[in-house]
Amino acid sequence: MAPTRHTPNSTFKKVIVVRLDHKARSGYLDPAQLGHADSAELLTVDGERLAIPLTEIKSIHFVREFDQPIEPSRKTFLSRPRQEGLWLRLRFTDGDQIEGLVPNDLLGLLDRGIQITPPDSVGNTLRLFIPRAALAELRVLGVVGASRRGRPAVVPAASQGDLFTR
């Protein structure tokens, strides 16, 4: 009888964890737990549970497939991004750089790390979590917002009266 393989919960996502020494481990991770603990709990493809301290992690790549390369073909946007959010440039402690987008509500900027959407939208990496300890610098390059055409016009409140009509 073949051994049964543990199937992760539907909340677990495929990830490849890259350590600061550039060694990588594939497995499954619950993204809701990121940033709430000092370690990332990884369920490896072999069924082993690993608690990897965030201080040892360079990046966590949420991937489509384990057997595809995780390095994005582009690490910078070719032009201003079209999605809404904060356009960031992150520099790692080892000198590598990558640009990405985070939501404009700043909930993506966690105390222990940051989740970004990389510029390579067709690559294997869908999203990245980068622990704060792996970053040397974080710069906001721009705020990308919705077009004004889709927004309703702002109408002054009736209680404002004729304050500025003289």
Q: How confident is the model at residue 1 (pLDDT cuts 50, 70, 90)?
A: very low
Of 72, 54, 60, give the one whose Cα is nearest residue 15. 60
> Does 1 reside within a domain?
no
> Does 110 reside within a domain?
yes
CA-CA-CA-CA torsion sign (40, 44, 50, 53):
negative
> Does 4 reside within a domain?
no
> Does 3 reside within a domain?
no
> Does 20 reside within a domain?
yes
Give residue 78's pLDDT: 84
> Does 166 reside within a domain?
no
pTM for the full model? 0.79
Number of domains in the chain: 1
C-alpha span between 88 and 61 (Å, rounded): 17
> Does 163 reside within a domain?
no
Say what percent of the chain tops pLDDT 90. 52
Residues ≥6 apart with Cβ < 8 Å to 115: 31, 34, 102, 108, 127, 128, 129, 130
Structural domain range at position 58? 13-147
Summarised one tens digit per residue, pLDDT across range 93-152 is: 999 999 999 988 766 566 788 999 999 888 899 999 999 999 999 999 998 886 555 555
Total Cβ atoms within 10 A of residue 90: 21
Average pLDDT across the chain, whole number: 83
Note whether 19 and 58 are within 8 A (CB): yes
